[in-house]
Amino acid sequence: MIELRVNGGVHRVDPAVGRSLAETLREDLGLTGTKVACGEGHCGACTVQLDGVPVLSCITLVHTVRAREVTTIEGLRDHPLVESFVRADALQCGFCTPGQIVSAAALVEANPEPSRDEIRHAMAGNLCRCGAYPKIEEAVLTWRG
Ligand code: FES
Ligand code: FES
């Protein structure tokens, strides 16, 4: 049994050895906002923050995150980036969007006025099959409205 700190709450879970953080979030805690696409650390769909730093939850073993703060898209529901993504129409299918917002939130926390290059660099690991990159960039540039 381990304690997980997620979005300000504490959860006790008993995961099998080798279970990923993404599986635990989605299947044990019901936090399905975190998406799994490739499941191999290539696409960024499963991005969550660990102590404020973006990580790929599909390749993060849940046993390695005890005593650290996990932030998922559900914990960012009131972040201004959510509104700026809507305003900029920065999504099509929306599957990559939670991971995009989680990465962008970590970026603007560290650097509230990122340049286009800084946005591209910080979010290079978040792929969008719909090709919404220009609008995603616009959403992050204008995140404060
Ligand atoms: S689902 Fe984790 S990186 Fe693709
Ligand atoms: S909006 Fe469809 S993958 Fe990005």
DSSP string, 44-61: -TTEEEETTEEEEGGGSB
Model confidence at 99: pLDDT above 90 = yes
- What ligand 1 atom has the least distance to the C-alpha of 39? 1
Query: The CATH number of 76-141 is which of 3.30.365.10, 1.10.150.120, 3.40.50.1100, 2.40.33.10?
Result: 1.10.150.120
Query: What percent of the chain shows pLDDT beyond 70?
Result: 100
CA–centroid distance, residue 135 to ligand 2 (Å): 11
Helix axis angle, 133-141 to 97-110, nearest 10°: 40
CA–centroid distance, residue 90 to ligand 1 (Å): 20
Report the C-alpha gap between 78 and 95 in whole angstroms: 19
Model confidence at 135: pLDDT above 90 = yes
In the chain, domain spans: 2-72, 76-141
Kindly state the average pLDDT of the residues 133-140: 98
Residue 131 in contact with ligand 2 by CB distance below 6 A: no
Q: Which ligand is nearest to the CA of 39?
A: 1
Please give the residue that has the higher pLDDT: either 54 or 67.
54
Give the pLDDT of residue 144: 94
Give the pLDDT of residue 67: 86
Residue 53 in contact with ligand 2 by CB distance below 6 A: no
Kindly state the average pLDDT of the residues 32-48: 98
In order of 40, 51, 62, the CA distances from 20 in angstroms are 11, 17, 5
Model confidence at 5: pLDDT above 90 = yes
Model confidence at 37: pLDDT above 90 = yes
In order of 38, 60, 111, the CA distances from 43 in angstroms are 6, 14, 23
CATH number of this structure's domain 2-72: 3.10.20.30
